Amino acid sequence: MTASAAAIHRVAVYYAPAADDPLALAAASWFAPGPRQAITTPARHYGFHATLKAPFRLRDGCGWSDVLAAAGNLACGVRPFSLPPLAVAVPHGFLALRETNPSPPLQALADAAVAELDHLRAPPAAAEIARRQPERLGTAERRMLDRWGYPYCFATWFFHMTLSQRLDAAEQAHWRPRAEAHFAPALALPRQVDAIALFVQPAPDVAFTEAARLPFRG
């Protein structure tokens, strides 16, 4: 897929498994229409991913070529590394895949994505800030929101691949073991982080799709 400034409402930098990775295939079937659709719609909207730099609007004068150049520079400085084993967890009330061991390379990649593409980001509008419910954030998260437009950066960032909307306790008890069983075969396989993915939202309320995949060349 290609993109242009006219086709971009927001852009995001993600870790996303390649389309033929068993993890991506498992996610595609998890998000497919069916009994899980009611709990997966919000997550499906953003695509199966772990956020490195959260979705942002482009600053005036910036376009897709600028995004590709900045993301390409980032990818050129990173060496492939092993992704820690993942497991189903329930951060902040939603199902997600999280790493079972801390990963300094993952943290460094997320830090670099936030900082090195920030010159492309337009300041968030008041409505965008309000959707983050800043009054409910901790001091560190609010500081990140004010500076970077997203509450979870650097020390507050955490790797997660969202699988559902927020669930109550009964829903968690129902869906968590089903997610664990569904993803178990894919999660048993080792995998490398060897690229970053650029996802684009072409218009408000339209789902994000992968627009470019940039292999690491460090």
Helix extents (H) in 155-214: 169-187
Instruction: Identify the structural domains of the chain with CATH numbers, from first to last.
Output: 5-215 (3.90.1140.10)
Q: Checking phi first, is residue 60 left (phi over 0); if not, alpha (psi -120 to 50) or beta?
A: beta
Q: Indicate if the pLDDT at residue 210 is higher than 50.
A: yes
pLDDT digits (tens, 9 = 90+) for 182-204: 999 999 999 999 999 999 999 99
Structure tokens at 14: 């993600």
What's the pLDDT tens digit per position in 42-93?
A: 999 999 999 999 999 999 999 999 999 999 999 999 999 999 999 999 999 9
Q: Rounded distance, CA 66 to CA 24, Å?
A: 28
How would residue 5 be classed by pLDDT, with cut points 50, 70 and 90? very low
pLDDT at 6 over 60: no
Using alpha carbons, select from 142, 149, 133, 137 the residue that is nearest to residue 54. Answer: 149
Q: Are 56 and 11 in contact (CB under 8 A)?
A: yes
- Name, in order, each residue with C-beta under 8 angstroms of 114's C-beta and a sequence gap of 6 or more: 52, 53, 148, 150, 153, 154, 157
Is 30's pLDDT higher than 70? yes
